[in-house]
Structure 1
Amino acid sequence: MRLPAPRGPVTTVLFERLTRPPHPFDPPSLGVEDDEDLQLALFTCYELHYQGFEEVDDAWEWEPSLLAVRRTLERRFEEWLARTVPPPPTTGEPERVCRALTDLVAEAEGPPLAAFLERKAGPDQFREFVVHRSIYHLKEADPHTWALPRLCGRAKAALAEIQADEYGGGRRERMHSELFRATMRGLDLDDSYGAYLDRVPAITLATVNLMSLFGLHRARRGALLGHLAVFEMTSSLPNLRYGRGLRRLGGDATACRFYDEHVLADAVHEQIAAHDMCGDLAATEPALTGDILYGAACALTLDRLFAEHVLDRWSRGTTSLREASLAVGSP
């Protein structure tokens, strides 16, 4: 994809520098006052570790001065997370981590976005929802795969089992990212990677940045696994509702297959993730138990904030996306 339009002083300076050959540069003033500027700058830095940008030399990925910029942005994000997500009670017994994850999920009563999409959303609202989710689903599983070389034993095997399903068991057409492309095409949306980056707001970027923050730091491996566990544990019922909502709006079997696949797969994955993956990591590295639960709490909180944003905008009769006029070249 191409670099998006800047959203503030940090992204303005950052994007201008990234279009040049790699070079050391002093970090711009990072007194970030705007979440849009912060989250887009951080997303851009992280994206260099995934598929990158057409105008940006791949050598920027490991430029030390850019990594310093990224770390400053990460600290701003971590400070916001610390204010927003209270650390959950940490069980002193690693074997209780599965029960603690279940309790966190049970207590997370977020806004009923899935129910709204199932029963009430119009075609334009459903398309907006898919646009939001495209920022992650077109690279689904990639952030969590960073944990594989950082684990061992049963936890590693469990994560590999989950990821193998996410990547279609070796068949491209069954990869979850490819299934989501079919959903986008069924809704007459552009299915190219990052096509709607200019249209999604800060909270959508934050949900994806959270995974990259946890995934790119070995010290955060516990949080990354906790994130994945609740991601799987809270997936089956919402995806069932998304599929029903899309069928209500005329979606065919191909367009709905992404959601149907997750109803079945994630019902299995949630047991593997909670017991075999997180349970084993907590047993072998008890010091990471708190990190596992914090990563889970962060995932649940950001998902709730995302849903609140979307439903609030829709209740006011406005788009949940950034207006096209705010982004250069937006669809």
Structure 2
Amino acid sequence: MARHGSAVRTLPRSGRLPLPPARGPLSDALTTFLLSAGGEPRQEDLMRLAQRAHTVDVLRDEDVQLTLLLLYELHHEGIDQVVDDLEWDLGLLWVRADLEMALQRSLQVLVHGRHGFGRGTRPEFLTGPARVDAELVALATARDATGLTAHLALDADLEQFREFFVHHSLHHLVPFREVHSGDPRGTSGVSTTRTTIDLGLDDAHGAYVSRLPATSLAAVNTATMFGLHRRDRGALAGHLAFSHLSSPSLGTAVGDGLRRLGLRGGATGSSAPETQPAQPGPDAGTGRELVASLLAAEPELAADVVFGARAGASLARLVAEEVLGAWSAGTSSLLPADHHDDAPDSHQVLRLVGRRPRG
């Protein structure tokens, strides 16, 4: 099988995100701005470049998703070589808000289609905590139409498992990680810390961010966006509930596949993923209880809860389809190690926004 090189990589463990290569004019302009501590390009130039997010397929756009990830990381662990003072830079906050608006619209289309109901509405079939809970369980326990769980359990080779864990390597960064207190699993329900070491992967913070394609970054960015905004508290609760409810099926498939390869797995038991949808595990109650408590206090958030869960399910399906599509074609599902997506250098960026470089 053709590969873009081994997924294994070792990086300095500073705790901050290593600054990845830019993937287009927007992320290159942002990188220049961050490294110059806000000197170049001007904030208004960044804002102008951010407008392209409203004209592209945001969920699959490498440039937009990497830019949004870097903007979020300013609020988390920080970025190598970037001063912390930029966390609350007003221009960057404006750019982030513009990209979030584009992401929200793309999620609406992904979940409901171009003419579906929007957030904040209350379709009759979604009213009431019991109906919402039934919808969450149905989403999480539905048969995996992509075939990813079956492939992991029955057919995936060692390199494919490495790639799978690389795709999930940023899931621990989302803001609701505290809810998992004491639980080594990320929002995917997969035990990543021990298994990444078993597979020879680097568990340093952001070690593989430069290898993750746009859809994998979009899954992380969506969860982060939900967690950062009070307006999205319903969507966050639904997203978290879906993650908890769907973890048994994926975790069991991963465990079965790793044991098949003679490695320790992150799950116990066995399954027949191609025919039997899993039932919610004991930790699924955390998400469901959160939703029940939220809706008891704010029943008007029912549609937002279901939106968040459907967004999680739709993004998981999108990532799985792309990963399996690459594997079926005999190629890697990760970006090549030297991926730059023909990003322009800083002088080209300044020319793109109509300014001459200094000096």
What is the TM-score of this pair, normalised by structure 1? 0.82
Q: Name the CA distance, whole Å, in 2 between partners of 1:96 and 1:209.
A: 28
Q: What residue number does 1:55 align with?
A: 81
Contact in 2 for aligned 1:231/1:299 (Cα 8 Å): yes
Larger Rg: 2
Q: What residue number does 1:273 align with?
A: 287
Q: Which amino acid aligns with 1:131?
A: V
Identical aligned residues as a percent: 37
Equivalent positions of 1:18-29 (< 5 A) are: 18-22=34-38, 25-26=43-44, 27-29=47-49
Q: Name the CA distance, whole Å, in 1 between partners of 2:185 and 2:241.
A: 17
Q: What residue number does 1:243 align with?
A: 255
Deviation of 1:267 (Å): 1.3
Q: Name the CA distance, whole Å, in 1 between partners of 2:249 and 2:240.
A: 16
Asked if residue 285 in structure 1 is aligned to residue 269 in structure 2, the reply is no
Equivalent positions of 1:91-240 (< 5 A) are: 91-107=126-142, 109-137=144-172, 139=173, 142-144=174-176, 163=179, 166-168=180-182, 175-176=184-185, 180-240=192-252
Contact in 2 for aligned 1:97/1:282 (Cα 8 Å): no
Deviation of 1:101 (Å): 1.6
Instruction: Name the CA shift for 1:46/1:219 in 2 (closer, same or farther; >3 Å).
Output: same
Q: Which amino acid aligns with 2:292?
A: G
Q: Name the CA distance, whole Å, in 2 between partners of 1:93 and 1:196.
A: 42
Q: Deviations over 1:168-213 (max 9, x none)?
A: 2xxxxx6446962321121111111111111110000011011011
Higher helix share: 1
SS in structure 2 at match of 1:271:
helix
Which moved further from structure 2: 55-64 or 292-301?
55-64
Q: Deviations over 1:49-91 (max 9, x none)?
A: 1111111111111111110010111111112112211167552
Which moved further from structure 2: 204-213 or 176-185?
176-185
Q: Name the CA distance, whole Å, in 2 between partners of 1:179 and 1:106.
A: 20
Would you say how many aligned residue pairs link Structure 1 and Structure 2? 294
**RMSD of Structure 2 on Structure 1 (CA):** 2.4
Gaps of 5+ in 1: 146-159, 169-173
Q: What residue number does 1:71 align with?
A: 97
Q: Name the CA distance, whole Å, in 2 between partners of 1:244 and 1:181.
A: 18
SS in structure 2 at match of 1:308:
helix
Q: Which amino acid aligns with 1:67?
A: L
Contact in 1 for aligned 2:244/2:286 (Cα 8 Å): no
Contact in 2 for aligned 1:200/1:322 (Cα 8 Å): yes
Q: Which amino acid aligns with 2:86?
A: W
What is the TM-score of this pair, normalised by structure 2? 0.76
SS in structure 2 at match of 1:69:
helix
Moved over 4 A (4+): 87-90, 106-109
Contact in 2 for aligned 1:113/1:307 (Cα 8 Å): yes
